[in-house]
Structure formats: structure tokens, C-alpha cells
Amino acid sequence: MGKRAPKLPGAGPGAGGPYVLYFYPKDDTPGCTKEACDFRDGLSAFRKAGVRVIGVSPDSEASHARFSEKYALPFTLLSDPDKQLARAYSVWVKKKNYGREYMGIERSTFLVDAKGVVRRVWRGVKVAGHVDSVLAAAKEL
């Protein structure tokens, strides 16, 4: 927190803040779909606060296009197949599932202000109620 946010590749014109950048493991899986739909459902409130929403996962652009269309997601999803952005935000981490260790995305969210400075960080996110917490912080920018 308080540090300059890494540059967003492919975020398009006006890629500066304020924005919410949320990292999720995989398109079209139960938790990731719930989180994306929660951000979709809260998007008008984020827009009213002047804050954009951007999702990031290692999935391909084609996968993102299918996911966006299937769930009518009206915000940008960035493809990070080489995990460069995930590494820049330190969310590409060692995880453990049923005793097996592997590398994966730690579900995390970053709130970046208009000057491009990270103002809030949520790591190890539990999806239920998360978007409400992020929106409350976004309204304080």
C-alpha cells in the first residue's frame, strides 16, 4: 500500500486510476464466476464513485471473451498468461490443496487511486461480501 501500481498492459486508453484491479484464478469456475458477477452487479455504484473495475487471470483473451459474453461482464478482463502482472503484484504464490503444493493465483484485489497509487489491498479474498467491502473503500477515494 502507498506504492505506485505496476503498469497495466492492454488496459486501453485512460488506463490511469482510480480503478479496482482484482486477480482471480480461472474463468468460469464457481468462485471466480460469483466474484465477477458480484463486480458486474455493483458496477453502476463503482462508476458513480468514478472507479473502473478490471479483472485479471492467466486465462487467454479468447477465454475471457467467452466468460464475458456468458455472464454479460461489462468491464475489462486482462489476460496474464505469463503471470507477469500477477508476479508484479505478488499474487502468483505457492498454494496447497489436499497436501499437494502448486503455484497459482491468490485471489486478491487492489484499489488504485487517480495518481496510480495502491490505496487498499485485499489478499486471500473470500468472495461473499467482498465487493461490498471494496466499494465502501472506493467511495472513500
CB atoms within 10 A of CB 132: 12
- In whole angstroms, what is the distance from residue 104 CA to residue 97 CA? 11
- In whole angstroms, what is the distance from residue 122 CA to residue 59 CA? 21
CB atoms within 10 A of CB 92: 19
- In whole angstroms, what is the distance from residue 58 CA to residue 81 CA? 4
Q: How far is CA 5 from the centre of its chain?
A: 13
For this structure, is 32 an active site residue? yes
Catalytic residue (one of 32, 56, 91, 111): 32
Active site residues: 32
